A = this chain, B = another copy of it.
Amino acid sequence: MAAVSLSVSTVKPLGDRVFVKVSEAEEKTAGGIILPDNAKEKPQVGEIVSVGNGKLNEKGERQPMEVQVGNKVLYSKYAGTDIKLGGDDYVLLSEKDILAVVS
């Protein structure tokens, strides 16, 4: 069985999906930087590595994506499909599962 070679730069999401490198959230405050150590409070964050062409609407036109490569994003826990590449965690998400962009 021929194998399919995966590397981060070769993954191009379909439709309204995005490919996100999972990060850890830290919080910048006056007193410095804090990492939440309570799993329940841990927001899911990451950086977008590649984006799809957008969803096709009923008219056959692609809906523009609201996010772009490089955006740091907060996303729904349990959403998407996890992939491990080069020891790092990635997730393939639908844009509707992205809650917010972190600038």
Contact = CB atoms under 8 A, between A and B. Distances in A.
Contact of A100 (B11, B27, B35, B86): B11
Interface residues of A, number: 63
Given A11-B100, A12-B100, A41-B83, 19 more contacts: A1-B23, A1-B24, A5-B33, A5-B102, A6-B45, A12-B101, A13-B99, A14-B66, A14-B98, A14-B99, A14-B101, A17-B99, A19-B100, A29-B86, A56-B64, A57-B58, A60-B61, A60-B63, A60-B64
Interface in A1-47: 1-7, 10-15, 17, 19, 22-29, 33, 35-36, 41, 43, 45-47
Interface of A: 1-7, 10-15, 17, 19, 22-29, 33, 35-36, 41, 43, 45-47, 52-53, 56-61, 63-64, 66-67, 72, 74, 76-77, 81-86, 88, 92, 95-96, 98-103
